[in-house]
Structures are given as structure tokens and as C-alpha cells.
């Protein structure tokens, strides 16, 4: 008997009660009496143990990519692993990782299991996934870590050796961790930026590295942060090591961007005061450096 991924999923739904990632209707397939005789927790435990043995002994372990594809009466294609991760089913996640032929790096339109574990705050599962040699940390997971301010998950990811703060680049925009920590730092989380700066400095990451558009971290701090504190923290942390007059591919310095954003915000009647402070700060810092070089 092949142990299909949806059988494991249904069994855990039964145990979890109302916490169901997929509708019960999805399991009205009628070809498996998975719930026959399951009336007590002891019954469920026995069935789980039986399924575990069958999974381990089966020559055809799950569908080739661990998805529900082809087993349900309507179109649900979420990988079983993702559903188990959402519910925090540590034991079943480990079972799937140990026994199923899963391609953890092929997302097929879904968020990765690591992204889901991070989003739902399942630290133990994050560690389990990071321990899989073949796993690659996808860009969306890194962005999620920064947007939600999950410093603990950043530490876990870097400590696992899956990413190197000095060499990591996002696939499309070629962002560094410094870029990402500013672009996706939607709450202006200073401790999160502090942690990223610490990793950048200890690893030797050049704060002046440009992305695919020629933007440095400081360019993004000016353009996206809307907070003088973010700009100050970046400039003061790297001191002379940060180029205040670096140019983008279009020839814009951070000060150019700040002045343009200020003008745009004023024109539309938006809250432009943060840009006044950023322009003043950059003007002063540039003047101080020029004076020191005389």
C-alpha cells in the first residue's frame, strides 16, 4: 500500500480538530477508510504508528514531489510538507524529511516550507529544514525575516551556514543582506538593522556594494526608510567606510535621491519632513568629510 501524502494530512487534521489547512471536502475521495475505528487518542496513536511503519517500508514513498497532486477531486496542489509545517506538526515534518523524496528547492508556485516555518514562527521546524544539506534558503524567506523583524530566525539561518553575510545576494536584484535589511524593514526596526550591520562588519561585507540598479544600502536607506534614524545608524556604524557620494547607474547620489523624494512629497502634499532631516544630515556629513580632507 502506498501511503499518500493526503492520508497523513487528514490524520493530523483529525487530531488537530478545527485547525485545518484544507477543507474536509478535499478528502472525500472514498478509496481509503483512513478514519475507520478512530474514536480515541489511543486509536489515533496506533494509526499514526502504523502509517509510520508503512511509510518507512514503502518502495513508493509519497508522490515524487510530496504533493497532493492527482489524489484529490479538485485542484489543490500544495505540498503535503507545507501543510504539515503550517500546523507545526514537528513529528510528521521529520517523517517526511527522512522518508519522502522531496525537492525542497522546487516551489512550483507555492512558498517554500522554510518560508512557511519562518512565517508561522516554528523555530524547531526551521532548524530541521536548515539541517537538510540540499536545502537552499530562498530570497522570499530572507525578505520575510526582515519584514517581520525576526532577528532570531536571521541568527538561525546564518548560524546554519546556509548563507554567508558577506557573499549572499538575492537572485533577481543582487541585493546584499544590508540592502534587504533596509528595503524590507517596514517597521524601521533598529535592533534588526543593528544585527545585520554587526554581521556585515564581522564578515567583511563592503557597505558600498551596489545591486543590479547600482544602489548601495545607503541609497535605499534614503529612498525607502522615511526615517532619519535608519540613515544615521547606517552612516554612523560604518563611519569612513561608507561612501556618502556613491552614484547609482543613473548617476544619483544618496543626497540627490533625498532631495528628489522631498520635492516629490512636497508636490503631492505628503509628509515630507523626514526628508528635510535626511537632506540636512547628509549635507552636514559630506561637508565634514570634505573639510577633514583639506
Q: Which CATH number does the domain housing residue 256 bear? A: 1.25.40.20
pLDDT at 64: 34
The three state secondary structure string of 225-286 is CCCHHHHHHHHHHHHHHCCCCCCCCCCCCHHHHHHHHHHHHHHHCCCCHHHHHHHHHHHHHH
DSSP string spanning 141-162? HHHHHHHTT-HHHHHHHHHTTS
CATH number reported for the structural domain that contains residue 88 in this entry: 1.25.40
* Helix or strand holding residue 13 (H, E): helix 5-16
Of the candidates 238, 237, 218, the one whose C-alpha atom is nearest the C-alpha of residue 278 is: 218
**Which value, in Å, is the radius of gyration of the alpha carbons in the chain?**
25
Greatest mean pLDDT among 7-11, 41-45, 54-58, 190-194 lies in 190-194
Q: For 95-117, what is each residue's pLDDT tens digit? A: 888 876 677 876 566 788 999 99
| Average pLDDT for the chain | 77
Same domain, yes or no: 13 and 131: yes
Where residue 243 falls (left for φ over 0; alpha for ψ -120 to 50; beta otherwise) is beta
Same domain, yes or no: 101 and 169: no
3-state secondary structure of 1: coil
pLDDT at 132: 92
Same domain, yes or no: 232 and 120: no
Quick check: 100 and 66 in contact, CB under 8 A?
A: yes
pLDDT at 49: 65
What whole-number distance in Å separates Cα of residue 173 and Cα of residue 143? 12
Q: For 264-291, what is each residue's pLDDT tens digit? A: 877 777 777 788 899 999 999 999 998 8
Residues 187, 192, 195, CA angle at the centre, nearest 5°?
165
pLDDT value at 143 more than 90: yes
Find the range with the poorest average confidence among 164-168, 183-187, 269-273, 274-278: 269-273
pLDDT value at 120 more than 70: yes
Grade residue 17 by pLDDT with cuts at 50, 70 and 90: very low
pLDDT at 278: 92
Same domain, yes or no: 144 and 241: yes
Same domain, yes or no: 132 and 153: no
Same domain, yes or no: 193 and 71: no
Which of 85, 111, 136 marks a domain boundary? Answer: 136
Same domain, yes or no: 151 and 131: no
Which of 121, 136, 151 marks a domain boundary? Answer: 136
pLDDT value at 93 more than 90: no
Tell me which of 228 and 80 has the higher pLDDT.
228
What whole-number distance in Å separates Cα of residue 158 and Cα of residue 268? 42
Beta bridge partners of 67: 79
3-state secondary structure of 52: helix
What whole-number distance in Å separates Cα of residue 23 and Cα of residue 51? 22
Same domain, yes or no: 196 and 247: yes
Same domain, yes or no: 175 and 115: no
What's the structural domain count of the chain? 2
pLDDT value at 197 more than 90: yes
pLDDT value at 75 more than 50: no
Q: For 28-56, what is each residue's pLDDT tens digit? A: 323 344 445 556 667 666 766 665 555 44
pLDDT value at 219 more than 80: yes
Same domain, yes or no: 99 and 3: yes
Which of 136, 154, 169 marks a domain boundary? Answer: 136
Same domain, yes or no: 3 and 87: yes
pLDDT value at 256 more than 90: yes
pLDDT at 225: 62
Find the range with the poorest average confidence among 45-59, 67-81, 101-115, 236-250: 67-81
Find the range with the poorest average confidence among 62-66, 155-159, 280-284: 62-66
pLDDT value at 175 more than 80: yes
Domain of 168, in residue numbers: 138-294
Same domain, yes or no: 207 and 239: yes
pLDDT value at 181 more than 80: yes
Of the candidates 200, 191, 203, the one whose C-alpha atom is nearest the C-alpha of residue 233 is: 191
pLDDT at 203: 95
Amino acid at each position: 500500500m502506498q501511503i499518500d501524502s493526503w492520508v497523513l494530512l487528514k490524520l493530523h487534521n483529525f487530531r488537530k480538530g478545527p485547525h485545518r489547512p484544507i477543507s474536509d471536502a478535499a478528502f472525500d475521495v472514498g478509496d481509503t477508510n483512513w478514519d475507520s475505528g478512530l474514536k480515541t487518542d489511543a486509536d489515533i496513536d496506533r494509526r499514526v504508528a502504523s502509517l509510520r511503519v508503512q511509510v518507512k517500508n514503502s518502495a513508493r514513498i509519497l508522490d515524487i514531489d510530496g504533493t497532493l497532486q492527482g489524489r484529490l477531486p479538485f485542484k489543490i496542489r500544495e505540498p503535503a510538507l507545507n501543510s504539515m509545517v503550517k500546523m507545526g506538526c514537528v513529528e510528521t515534518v521529520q517523517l517526511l524529511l527522512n522518508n519522502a523524496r522531496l525537492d525542497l528547492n522546487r516551489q512550483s508556485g507555492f512558498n517554500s516550507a522554510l518560508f512557511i516555518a519562518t512565517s508561522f514562527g516554528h523555530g524547531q521546524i526551521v532548524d530541521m529544514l536548515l539541517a537538510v544539506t540540499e536545502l537552499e534558503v530562498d530570497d522570499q524567506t530572507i525578505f520575510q525575516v526582515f519584514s517581520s523583524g525576526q532577528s532570531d530566525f536571521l541568527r538561525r539561518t546564518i548560524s546554519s551556514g546556509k548563507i554567508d553575510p558577506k557573499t549572499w545576494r538575492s537572485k533577481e536584484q543582487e541585493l546584499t543582506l544590508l540592502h534587504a535589511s533596509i528595503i524590507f524593514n517596514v517597521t524601521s526596526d533598529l535592533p534588526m538593522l543593528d544585527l545585520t550591520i554587526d554581521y556585515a562588519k564581522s564578515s567583511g561585507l563592503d557597505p558600498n556594494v551596489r545591486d543590479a540598479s547600482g544602489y548601495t544600502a545607503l541609497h535605499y536607506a534614503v529612498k525607502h526608510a522615511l526615517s532619519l534614524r535608519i540613515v544615521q545608524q547606517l552612516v554612523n556604524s560604518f563611519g569612513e567606510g561608507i561612501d556618502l557620494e556613491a552614484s547609482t547607474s543613473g548617476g544619483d547620489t544618496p543626497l540627490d535621491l533625498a532631495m528628489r523624494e522631498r520635492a516629490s512629497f512636497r508636490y503631492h502634499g505628503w509628509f515630507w519632513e523626514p526628508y528635510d532631516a535626511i537632506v540636512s544630515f547628509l549635507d552636514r556629513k559630506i561637508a565634514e568629510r570634505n573639510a577633514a580632507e583639506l
